[in-house]
Amino acid sequence: MSTQVFRTATLFLFGLFFLVPIAAMFEFSTRGNGINASRTWAAWTSILTYPDLTDAIKASLALAAITSVAMLFLLLPTMVWVRLRIPAMKSVIEFICLLPLTIPAIVLIVGLSPIYYWIALNVSDDILTLAFGYVILVLPYAYRSLDAGLSSIDVKTLTEAARSLGASWPTVMWRIIVPNIPVAILNALLLSVALVLGEYTFANLLNYTNLQVAIALLGRANAGVSISTAVASLLFAFVLLMVISFVGRRRTPSLGAAATDPQYLTAGQRT
Amino acid sequence: MTVADRSAVITAGRAIGGGRRLPLTWIGVIPFFAYVGLFLLLPTGIVVAGAFLDKNGNPTFAEIQTTLSQDYVVRAYWNSLLLSLVSAVVGAVAGAILAYAIVLGSPHGLLRRVVTSMAGVLAQFGGVTLAFAFIATIGGAGFLTVFLQDHGIDIYPNGIWLYELPGLVVVYLYFQIPLMVLVFLPALDGVRPQWREATESLGGNSWHYWRYVAGPLLFPAFLGATLLLFANAFSAYATAAALINQGNPIVPLAIGNLIQSEVGLSDPGQAKALALGMVVIVAIVMVSYAILQRRTARWLQ
Amino acid sequence: MNWHRFSRLGLAAAAVLIVAACGSSTTAGSTNWATVPSASAGGGMDALVAAAKAEGELNVIALPPDWANYGAIISGFTAKYGIKINSANPNGSSQDEVDAVNQLGKTSRAPDVLDVGMKVALANTSLFAPYEVQTWNDILASQKDPNGVWVQDYGGYMSIGYDSSKVPTITSVDDLLGSAFKGKVALNGDPTKANAALNGVMMVSLAEGGSLDNIGPGVDFFHKLKVANNFVPVQATTATVKSGQTPVVLDWDYLSAAHGTDVPTWKVFVPSNAILGGYYAQAINKNAPHPAAARLWEEYLYSNEGQNLWLKGLARPVRMQAMQAAGTIDAAAAAALPAVNGTPVFLSDAQATAAGAYLAAHWAAAIS
């Protein structure tokens, strides 16, 4: 009973804290001009008339997909490998995965632009090359989420059992590790997609037009539009993340067998 | 080979194969290091090395000396540290509580999906629009401010604190708490109900459960998440730039000024020196974090 | 002996190659517009228009649509010539524009043209290509570079914009110290960073007894504003203005006047004892990916159509005097400009540097 009260109270209070500012933004975006002007949807309807927005949305969605997939393929096998074979490297990987957050993007871009210059001249000038930088930007968040997930399962025993039964490494990753950390992977994906959709600085300083840059440009039309586009972008990202979280649902296996395993009753070794 | 023998081989690998085993184990991390080497370590190295060069490219300590000798720089580092620590700790505790409230519900329920999706969106929400959201709510003429004023409560008797560091902490919590929820949830999900049952069957109560079972097990993840929140706040730029556009009270704003100033005060060398300082500070924090992790791991044995 | 003959052979070979290269380019009939200093030198306006249309695109930077009516200028240019304009980094500063030129080098995303403050223009002339528009002679010598690497485009006067429905009418700078302005006064940026903010502080300094060489009284005034809790450090945007969070903003008069569309009761006040003017400058990137389109853009901006569009944005175009004399000015737009009684003064580059140095040393302490 008390957990119910705790739960309801907590969710209600936090809900207020997070939703009230957004409600304030929404309220502002429907204001008319001048004192005692009537409410208007003009700031919202004008979003639909902006021609370049669809290109920017497509680019950002493609970037989100590429970044999330690349992040998983780069990070998850490495993290599992380090846990199993080179535990001493854990702190090094941890520090590297925190580096993108140590210095602000505006100065990181100073170091990244020579590399992007080389890429633009020798590989491609397309906006999708932003994915190279975005994978780096999502590393801190994805690492932390995946680390929490991997810490809560016994990676060593699971992989040893699988390997001793003849499973290859790809099978171990895909059919043993991944299904056992669904929440961690989902949250890493959610954070990556949300980051790419909300990313402004890198794209802006490299003169690419992604979703947020297009919104910033559109927002200079007038005050109401600058806020309505921001709220619309939040809603868009929210709907997309909900869709992703529903797709993830089908992959969740039943953990019944593992949960009743006596080994998990002891506060045992954390790998 | 039995499972036991195989385990013995793996754990005794060093003794048996010695030098020949090592190169194979390093292959697994080559893709990762190659990628981050090119796209992260190299750019960071360029920035950090730039702190040791003057305008003509000659090595010198002058840039660093000039930067550190200025009063506003020391104050900015101090403010940044304070801001990041407070928003990280408060955000971590609040986020952990909220994550716990979520985990108590059904793992596949709609509420959980809604809350985690919202958390994903809000964790990356920032900049001018987040600043405006708060300005519109509790700014000088925000609707909550006006509402409270109409009922006789003045929340700004000594100036508008929203536009100073305390306000920045509150605004930072807006993305710190959702971030905490998302990175801590997998750890909370790993807590088995059997642990609680085992504690109770051994005669322990809630306090024993949290202090001796779940707490120590969750602490590494909690600490790691707090570290992430710290770094997240430490380098955040756009939100602070919108709220406190004057005086560069924190390091990212100072760096922004040194790079983007159009009145002749731009100095990329000093900006890089400041960035170097930030890397050093985070490295120190990480070392303390690693020490703390090792201490708490010992408690588990 | 042997070396002598070798070097002469080498020189001769080089000469032949160079002549062949030049010859081939002229016989092919295509001009390299990247080095053309005027439309006539490249074969006339028609050749320029054709070459620009062939390039098909133009990269501009830091030109938000609500800045001096750039929105209408961009759509006007595209409608007239069919050239697509890629507008990057709308909120960028002048320094950001130059940084983009340096960082993007020869890629296809590098900015073609720049619209920068005078300080940044003068500090980076090595990045620009000289070009003289057809209406070059209408522009005063003091407002253009003799070699044509930069030329001023539009300007205005530093003003105090305010929402007359939220604060009382402002008749002098000292009014801002009143209690009616608690938590209401904002600058457009930090003066150690943004040109508009530096000029805002300088204008206040002039009104408070300082001079173009002395920005001290301005800094002191803002300190008084901060102590009275009248000054807010928040970044003033159209949203903060409309929502009433920053009902008083010190900004260029043309930028301030743009708030009038969101707030019908917005007024712009230029103090008669402190008329501080400032012009921005146009420049063409030496390594512009679309050199012909860049030059056509400049021609458009300095044509009557372009200059009048800036006038509609309540900025004063650089050819204003000449156009008034020739009768090509948009009279209605000119009449809508904020009234200014007195002679404007302008900061020289040296004075701006000195002001910047003083602010770097004293601003943060004054407003904290």
pLDDT tens digits, one per residue of C112-124? 999 999 999 999 9
Ranges under pLDDT 70 in chain B: 1-23, 299-301
Task: Out of C87, C111, C241, name the one closest to residue A223 (CB).
Answer: C241
pLDDT reported for residue B204: 82
Task: Out of A120, A207, A209, name the one closest to residue C100 (CB).
Answer: A207
CATH number for the domain spanning B153: value is: 1.10.3720.10
Calpha distance C32→A235 (Å, rounded): 49
Query: Do B222 and B75 reside in the same domain of the chain?
Result: yes
Q: Is C15 on the interface with B (CB under 8 A)?
A: no
Query: Do B36 and B103 reside in the same domain of the chain?
Result: no
Query: Do B24 and B102 reside in the same domain of the chain?
Result: no
- pLDDT-based confidence at A2, cuts 50/70/90? confident
Q: Is C76 on the interface with A (CB under 8 A)?
A: no
φ, ψ at C121 (rounded to 5°): -60, -50
Task: Out of C184, C192, C368, name the one closest to residue B261 (CB).
Answer: C192
Q: Is C242 on the interface with A (CB under 8 A)?
A: yes
Calpha distance A204→B127 (Å, rounded): 14
- pLDDT-based confidence at A167, cuts 50/70/90? confident
CA dihedral A5, A7, A8, A14 (to 10 degrees): 130
Residue of B66, B154, B171, B246 to mutate for C, most C C-beta atoms under 10 A: B246
Which residue type sits at C135?
T
| Residue B65 belongs to a domain | no
For A177, B4, B217, B300, the CA distances from A268, given in Å and listed in that order, are: 19, 19, 9, 8
pLDDT reported for residue B12: 45
Segments forming the whole domain that contains residue B36: 1-50
Show the domains of chain C with their CATH numbers: 35-155+279-335 (3.40.190.10), 156-277+341-366 (3.40.190.10)
Residues 203-232 of B with CB under 8 A from C: none
pLDDT reported for residue C20: 45
Which residue type sits at A154?
D
Residue given tokens 């790691």 in the structure block: B224
Q: How many angstroms separate the first and last alpha carbons of chain A?
A: 36
Q: Which residues lie below 8 Å from residue C193, measured CB to CB, with a gap of 6+?
A: B256, B257, B260, B261, B262, B263, B265, C93
Calpha distance A153→A150 (Å, rounded): 6
pLDDT reported for residue A266: 36
Tell me which of C248 and A151 has the higher pLDDT.
C248
* H helical segments located in chain B: 3-11, 13-17, 21-27, 30-36, 42-50, 62-69, 71-103, 110-123, 127-138, 143-150, 165-189, 193-201, 206-208, 215-234, 238-243, 251-260, 268-300
Predicted confidence (pLDDT) per residue in C131-181, tens digit: 999 999 999 999 999 999 999 999 999 999 999 999 999 999 999 999 999
Host H or E run for residue C152: strand C151-163
Distance in Å, alpha carbon of A151 to nearest chain B alpha carbon = 7
Q: Is C294 helix (H, G, I), strand (E, B) or coil?
A: helix
| Residue B61 belongs to a domain | no
Q: How many CB pairs under 8 A join A and C?
A: 93
Which residue type sits at C128?
F
Residues 254-273 of C with CB under 8 A from B: none
Q: How many domains does the structure of chain B reveal?
A: 2
Calpha distance C77→C290 (Å, rounded): 15
Q: Is B81 exposed, middle or buried (0-12, 13-18, 19+ CB in 10 A)?
A: middle
Task: Out of C95, C184, C240, name the one closest to residue B262 (CB).
Answer: C95
- pLDDT over threshold 70, residue A251: no
- CATH classification code of A41-251: 1.10.3720.10
pLDDT reported for residue C250: 96
Please give the structure tokens belonging to residue A237. 């990202």
Q: Is A55 helix (H, G, I), strand (E, B) or coil?
A: helix
Predicted confidence (pLDDT) per residue in B256-277, tens digit: 999 999 888 888 889 999 999 9
| Residue B56 belongs to a domain | no
Please indicate whether, in this complex, the C-beta atoms of B266 and C95 are within 8 angstroms of each other: yes
Query: Do B256 and B114 reside in the same domain of the chain?
Result: yes
Nearest C-alpha in A relative to C166: A35
Q: Which residues of B touch C187 (CB under 8 A)?
A: 245-246
- pTM of this structure: 0.87
Query: Do B183 and B103 reside in the same domain of the chain?
Result: yes
pLDDT reported for residue C8: 58
